[in-house]
Structure 1
Amino acid sequence: MIDHFGLSVGDHDRALTFYDAVLAPLGYRRLQDFDLPKGRVTGYGDTKPEFWLSSGGRCTGRLHIAFSARSREAVDAFHRAALQAGARDNGAPGVRDIYHPNYYGAFVFDPDGHNIEAVCHAPA
């Protein structure tokens, strides 16, 4: 349903450092980086940019973004990398059976305070 989505950030370089670290364990990397008249834009993905960061100031309100993980180990690695990159914990890796029995996720707050998640839906 969703082809791509974007997030405006308060400090582009700080956000890049954070997302480079936390998306790598999930198999995503920085694919494009360029300047537009309104500011810098960076796209992440595995084969095409699907998640975009743009300079220009933090989005108002808090967003929840969940990234797909291929394994529970990748969710664990995401959480470790996020904490090492300065994120605040918002839910350690674990099963969230309120959603379904194989929902394995971890949650952190990114540098702009958004609730960022990695989730794997595969059975253990």
Structure 2
Amino acid sequence: MPVRTARDAVTVASLYLRWLGYGDIRGAVKRAPSGVRVAARGMIALIEPSVQPTTLRDVECVWLSAMAESVSCVCFSLAGYEETARARADKLSIPLFVIDLMGTPQPVNNAADELMSAG
């Protein structure tokens, strides 16, 4: 599914989560500081559909939310990640994906590769 709008990016990420085995996708909610958050059984996903790279704060906020709910987390971005966000995600083992304009999530780090192989 080509990505033309923010809604398309959220749809792609939700479908990908379902493909990975995370069912029961629940509503997309706009969250501060940016991005959209969706939840699935056992997983919280942050989708950053803007042209701005996902920030360190975004990664830390989704991780803290996941810890509070005792679930895993994952991040999807159209524009990639700030270097500090990638480094923190690596330390916390948070899977990072970039969604290309053709609608295909591409793994960015080892945690994403591991999630793909397990899903």
What is the TM-score of this pair, normalised by structure 2? 0.37
Structure whose residues are more often strand by fraction:
1
Q: Which has the larger Rg?
A: 1
Q: TM-score, normalised by structure 1?
A: 0.36
In terms of fraction of residues, the more helix-rich structure is 2
